Amino acid sequence: MKPSEIRSQTVDELRLKEGDLRKELFNLRFQQATGEIENPKRIRTVRKEIARILTIIGEKDVKQREGGK
């Protein structure tokens, strides 16, 4: 998912997406531990997507605080 696509979503939508990605990451790590993982690179991709979402949520929080003053 591109940052421009993430920025167009609301904070609530981003938090839901983050939760889904965290569940997926848990499942991928579980698969890795049991040796059943099909695509180990997906773990890295999911971690980066979570980081992008958290970064954009932080940016939106800062903008909201600055706009509220």
Q: How far is CA 20 from CA 24, 26, 46, 50, 51, in A?
A: 6, 10, 10, 10, 13
Domain ranges of the chain: 3-68
State how far the Cα of 64 lies from the Cα of 69, in Å rounded to an integer: 9
How do the pLDDT tens digits run along the chain, 69 residues long?
788 899 999 999 999 999 999 999 999 999 999 999 999 999 999 999 999 999 999 999 999 888 865
Q: Is it true that domain 3-68 has CATH number 1.10.3430.10?
A: no
